[in-house]
Amino acid sequence: AQSVAQPEDQVNVAEGNPLTVKCTYSVSGNPYLFWYVQYPNRGLQFLLKYITGDNLVKGSYGFEAEFNKSQTSFHLKKPSALVSDSALYFCAVSSTYGGATNKLIFGTGTLLAVQP
């Protein structure tokens, strides 16, 4: 069974500082990894994904994430946080086990709060 863990319910960071939102996963087969962001009263918006290739993935709004197979992690990062980055962030995983499926399982979410 596939699963995703986001160990921090909330991350606080000052504007201009770098930010990291952590994610670890467990799957059989090769993972497809995703990050989504949710603003209040809105749907989920896609940020970036890792399917194959370069372990460092760049996405929307200056975010990036690094796939680490040995640590089964896919942490989200940004060099300089903005107040407007404050939102709920979800990590998600699907896998290729048993043939490629599209069943995307989400973590519990991490609330990012950027202080001015």
Partner 1 sequence: DAGVIQSPRHEVTEMGQEVTLRCKPISGHDYLFWYRQTMMRGLELLIYFNNNVPIDDSGMPEDRFSAKMPNASFSTLKIQPSEPRDSAVYFCASSARPGNTIYFGEGSWLTVV
Q: State the residues that interact with partner 1 by CB under 8 A.
A: 32, 34, 36, 41-46, 49, 51, 90, 94, 96, 100-109
**Which residue number, 42 or 69, has a Cβ lying nearer to partner 1?**
42
CB of 18 to partner 1, least distance (A): 26
Shortest spacing between CB 12 and partner 1, in angstroms = 20
Q: Where are the beta strands (DSSP E) in 1-116?
A: 3-5, 10-14, 19-21, 24-26, 31-38, 44-50, 56-58, 64-68, 73-78, 87-95, 105-106, 110-115
| Least CB distance to partner 1 at residue 20 (A) | 21
Pick between residue 43 and residue 116 the one whose CB is nearest to partner 1: 43
Q: How far is the CB of 80 from partner 1 (least distance, A)?
A: 25
Question: Which residue's CB is nearer to partner 1, number 49 or number 75?
Answer: 49
- Residue the block writes with tokens 């640590």: 71
The CA dihedral of 45, 51, 54, 56, to the nearest 10 degrees, is: 30
Distance CA 80, CA 111 (A): 17
Pick the closer one to partner 1 by CB: 101 or 115: 101
